[in-house]
Every structure is written in structure tokens, then in C-alpha cells.
Structure 1
Amino acid sequence: MTSQDTPNWLPLTPYRSGDSVPVTYPEGSADDSAPFAGHASDLRKELATAKRIVVKFGSSSVTRPDTTVDSESINKFVDALQARMEISDIIVVSSGSVAAGTRPLGLKSRPRDLATKQAAATVGQVHLAAEWGSSFARYHRTIGQVLLTAGDAGQRDRARNAQRTLERLMQLRVIPIINENDTVATSEMRFGDNDRLAAIVAKLVGADALVLLSDVDGLYDRNPAEPDARFIPEVRTGHDLQGVVAGDGGPLGTGGMASKVSAARLAARAGVPVLLTSAENVGPALRDASVGTVFHTRPERRLTAWKFWALYAADAEGVLRLDAGAVKAVTSGGTSLLPVGITAIEGEFRRGDIVEILGPDGTVVGRGEVNYKSSVLATMIGKHTEELPKSQRRPVIHADYLSNFATRL
């Protein structure tokens, strides 16, 4: 599918002309007196008119405390999504499959071991998809369930196939409901949480905005239950996050505020602005983006599509360990990695594979496409270019194919 085949925005309309159901945005719990509401900015205006949006719902938003699927809440979410679809293309990322499968399996709490989680996911995915489907059917809309693993995004051909599938679904006026494929994902091949999955999907489909909805109204510098907690309406750079303490996920989910901030910064680095708020505020979030915390992009530091894929989605086939000087060189930007700065290699890889780059203390500093297979590179470690035969004087990783984590928002 070429860019000419796929328009940037495909408006979704009810299937039967003249038969659509009038909708309005649900108001939610937001009011202008709350610290997380009543905000306005140029970015919020852009979010309010974005043509393609990925909207992510957390487990606690779509399931009740007893782990049953919350039909009433899903109906409210769909009402808001339907209203926004008058101007925007919507892709939904929905957590909750493991939680939704807990009670039907007779389990008293969310499972912890991988096999039981996967078993619960197989049951919960059916329940969740049925609820989303029946709710959207009120507006004569069809959904399509899309289950992804990290491997789907990590292999370029599979990522392209996923992208084409999502584009075709939207051309057919089907709303994609995306979840991580917990039934087959291993602990080594997971996105980790659906916040990160949503950020990767947003980049994959060329979204104009990402909306992360959970049970928290936005970003605070500490637990919002604390009396002195300060609300943070805008995040422009990493400096806005100094001193922020973000917690882990609740009993029904795997993510938490730390996960959401990480995903928001990931999407922003890919050029996708983010709105972070609670699912209760879905109405104003999708209507005028006046609630929650927004994360700005920085065009001058935006990653190319390839570097984003290599850094955050690709499968790493090996590891290169660097000395301090090499780390400084490759993280400063525009510098290729040479053999002299490599202290050790791990794994078996081929030319063209993605490898992870670690500093002396084991910290991951970046990733890149390696120019030599591991057996050849092992003979080059620590050598200056002039010490190598002419056939080995190419950089180990060229600067154009090296992406690092040092660049901050």
C-alpha cells in the first residue's frame, strides 16, 4: 500500500446513511475549578482538532473492582468516541483482558504467573471484545480486534503488515480495538504494558495525537492524595519532570503513572503529542482537551521513523559494551561507532541486525544496525581503524543507523 493509496485521514461514518444516532460528549467529572481542568493552550487546540487519534483505556477503566467488564463505563467511552469521530479517525487500545478473564476462571485475584495470565487473557479478550462490539453497534459501527506482540513491532515486515491491516480496517470504517496478545507473548517478548503499546501504535499509524486514559486525572509531582501534591498541566521538556515521583500500577493493571509518563515521552519523541487524564474525563478530553496533562513534542529532536523503530520496537539480536569515551561520542549525536570504543560483545548476530549498546556500568544507551556479523566483530574489538584491513574500515554502526536514549524531551 503506497501513500497515494492511503489518505492521511479517513473519516468514519455510520454504515447506514440517514440512520446515525445523534450523540453528545459525556461531561465526565471535570469542572473548571479542579486543578486538572479548565486549561487552554495552542497544543490543546491542536489536540482538540487532531484528525487521527489513538485512545488508550486502562484496565481499571474497563473493568470493575470485582474484575467483571464494566459495560456502563464502556458505553460512556463509546459515546465520547462516537462524538469525536465526526471529525477524527479513532484507534482504541484497550487493556483489561487479563482482569476480565479472572472471575470467569474462578480466580480470586489477578494471576501472577505467566501461564495463568495467558489463560485468563484468552477468556478476557472474548468478554472485552464483545462489550466493545455491542457498545459500538448502538451507532451501527463494527469493531475489529487486533492483538499484537512486541515481535510484531520488532520485525519490520511484520510491523508493515500490522500497519497495512490497521489502515485497511479504517478504510472499511471498522474501529480497531488493540490489545497486547497476552496469550502468546512471553516475558521476554512483551511491550510491558499497554501504555507503551499505545505509543508505538500511535507512531505506527501516523497518529496526530495520543490520549492516555486511566484512573488518574493527570500528572502530579507526587501522589495526588497528598495535600501538597502539585498538578502539572504541561510537560515541554524533561525539566518539567524534575522532582516528580510516579507510582506503579494498581491491583488490576500492569502500568502506573511511571509507565504513562514513559509512554507519553516516548510518543512525544516520535512526534506525537499526548494528553494524559482519567477515563472519567473522556468527554472533555476528546471535546476540547481542556483536562489533564499534555506532553509537547520537540520537532528539532524528533526521531526518524527508522530510529524510533530501532530504539523502541525492534528486536535486539546482540549487545555491544562500550567504554566511557565511546558512550560520550555516540550519545553526543552525529558520531558513528568505531571498534576502538567497544570492550565486549554478546550474542550471535548478522550484518544488518539491531544490537543494543551498553555503557561501562551496564546502562543501555542506545541501539543501532550493526555492519558486521558477531564472529567478525569479535576480532575487531578495541582496534583503531588504521589497524584493520580495508574490508573492515567501515564503522561498526554508522551514525545514520544509530539511535540513542540520551536525547531528552
Structure 2
Amino acid sequence: MKTVLAKKSIFEVIFILCVVIPYFDNFELTIATWSIAALFTVQNTYSLGLIKQLFFFLGIFIFALVVTFFNEHQPFYVLRDITYMIKPCIGIVLGYQLCKKINSNIFNIIVKTGFVFSLIHLFFLVRGVVFFKVLNINDLRFFGGFFSDFEVFALIVILFHKRFEVTFSPQKIRWYTAIIALSVFLYLARTNFIQLGILLLALKGLFVANKRNVTILVTVAIVTIIGYSSILVFNPKRNGPGMEAFLYKIKIIPEEAFKTKVNRNDWKAFNDNYRSYENIMTVRQVTGDGFYSIAFGQGLGSKVDLKEELQLGDMKLRYISILHNGYMTVFLKSGLIGVLLLLFSLGIYFRKTSSEITIIKQIDLLLLGMGIFMIMSYWVFMGFYFKADNKIILLGALICYKEIIMSKRQKVVQND
């Protein structure tokens, strides 16, 4: 018994480590850690549900790989793209395998991981304030991180702890809720606030079509429009003090990633709408290369020409191989076929299980919210293809945990 518990504890630590590692923004370390952990936890059998989901990500990768042989790209960028495009495959398998090894309530582990994540984030924020006297919101986010999707999922689980059968004491639940909620808020990330809203609505069952839910969603939309209009009236400035900088980010949401024309000579407008500029240049390049490029992409190692050197992070670049937009990145590598496979991969989130088991229903609602959020996440931050993404581990774990619960229930029914 002690040996079994010790093994479970080891796999819990590995789960936490694999989720937290991407936070430190070292892609090579992330891939190495995930690969070793995946090899260490290999299973004898895998479910059809996992294989179906894996099929879409592998399909995107294989199409891009085949197209690569018909183009001349630099080996370094080809190898780098291989790691980027294969990352979701490793992540989903890793999450599945770890959940199977742990073989107990995965939501306890999700909350623990979110708590560890939050403590690390808060440590870096305190370090920035105390040692570097940082009080500006933008600089503070630079020190602590710009967003954390996983912590939002952990917060949702702890808020609905009874539904997910989380077994912590009431005191622990209060502490976990307070710490994780504080950390999520201090990211001041628009996408995380939207994600939290989507998941709350999903867990409340408001995305299930009926007259009541439509009325509530319309009301939420109206309140959101009124709130956004108020921000437009306030007209926050780009580098305003305190929360004004955050409100400015909200103000530019509707056009930031959806503009079809961007003036390169206006540096403020260009900076605010840079993601749109990436999309514009990608579409022009791929469509300008003919039908085969549109259908199958330009392969691994392909790069978008930005037409001039731009300061991106700590480097000046003219050619970029990975974009902010996941759909456009896939379009560049494997064309419309890849984009269709990516869209089909979203189908798993919208499948409702016929099971009457309460926790299965809650997992379905959580996956529904995750799917709606992923549609946006792929557009804004590359979704599962983002180098710091760890949600894909969560997806693999949820697929596995549903199977574990249903398998246990089936055995109980058979014994009866």
C-alpha cells in the first residue's frame, strides 16, 4: 500500500513539474522534460478517444512534413518547427499517461498544480516590487508573466469543488481559492478574464441551448457592450498610469487581431495591431504562391517575410516562422488542409456524453467551456501550439479521467 502511494506521489510531482516548466519560457527545457516524462510513463494500451484526438495533431504535422520535402528551407528552422508542431502530440499523450499512472481524482492534482503555479507567480511579483521597485502594471507583468490559462482552470475547479469531488479540507479550499484567485487577477490578462467568464458560464450550463439560457447570454452580451462603451467614453490612453493601461488594452480588443490594413509608418497603430499585420503578411505570402501553397502550405521551416526588420522581444527580425495566431501558423505550415484538421480537432469539446454520472457531466461542461475558449486561444496566442502552453496536458488528463470513471462504474454495474 505504501509503495502504491509513493508511486502516485512521484507521478503527481511529475504532473506538477510538467505543467509548471513552460512558465519559465525555456522551450528546449519544456520539450526535453515532457519527452522524458512521456517515455517514463508509456502505457501498454491507449483509448480510441485519445487516438482520435491525436490523429488531428499528427495529421497537421505529417502534412507539413511531407510538404517540406518539396521546398528548400534552412535545416535549423525545419528542426525547430518539428518541435513546435509535435508539442501538442507529446502534451496530450503525457497528460493521458500521467492521469492513468496517478489513477485517482485528477482534479485534486489540478488544484495542487494551480496552487504551486500561483505561489511561483506571486513570488516573482513580490521580487519585482521589493528588489526592482516595479509598480507599473506593464513592467510588473513582465516580471511575473503575462497570463496563465492553467491557473484559471484550477480556480474554476476549486470554485466548483463539490461538483468535481475535490477532497481537500474546508480550510485548504479557502486558502487555495484565495491564493489562486489573487494570482489570476494579478496577471491582469484580458484573455484570462474572458476565459474565466466562459468557463463560469459553461459550468453553469448556460451554453446548453434553451430559452432561459439564451435570455441570460443575451443579457450578459448587453452588459458587456455597455461596459465596453463606458471604456470607450473614458478613452484610456496607451501608456496611462495604473489600471488605465489595462483599460486601453481592453479598448483595442475588437481591432487588435482583426484589422485588414495596418499602417507600418504609424508606430503606435502598428504596435497595437501587430498581430493583424502578421496575419495579413501570412495570407498574402501563402495565397501569392499558388493553389498548392494554399491547399498544403509551405512546410516546416517556412517563414513569413515582414518586409522590414522589427523589434520582436529582445531581437530584430524580418522573417518569422511562428506567429501569434495558431490558425495562421498551421495555414503557413500545412495549408487549408491543416486548418480544417485543426477545426475538426475542436469537435471533442462539443460532444456530450450520454452518461448520467454527475462528475462526467461536469467534465463535459468543463470541456465545452475549454472548446469555446480554444477557438479564441488559437486566434490570439497560438492555442496548444504556443511554446509556453500547458493546457494540452490538462486535455489529455481529462480524456483519461473520464475513461477511468466510466470503467469503474461499468465494473460496479457488472458486479451487481
Which TM-score applies when normalising by structure 2?
Answer: 0.24
Task: Report which structure shows greater RCO (CA 8 Å, sep ≥6).
Answer: 2
Larger relative helix fraction: 2
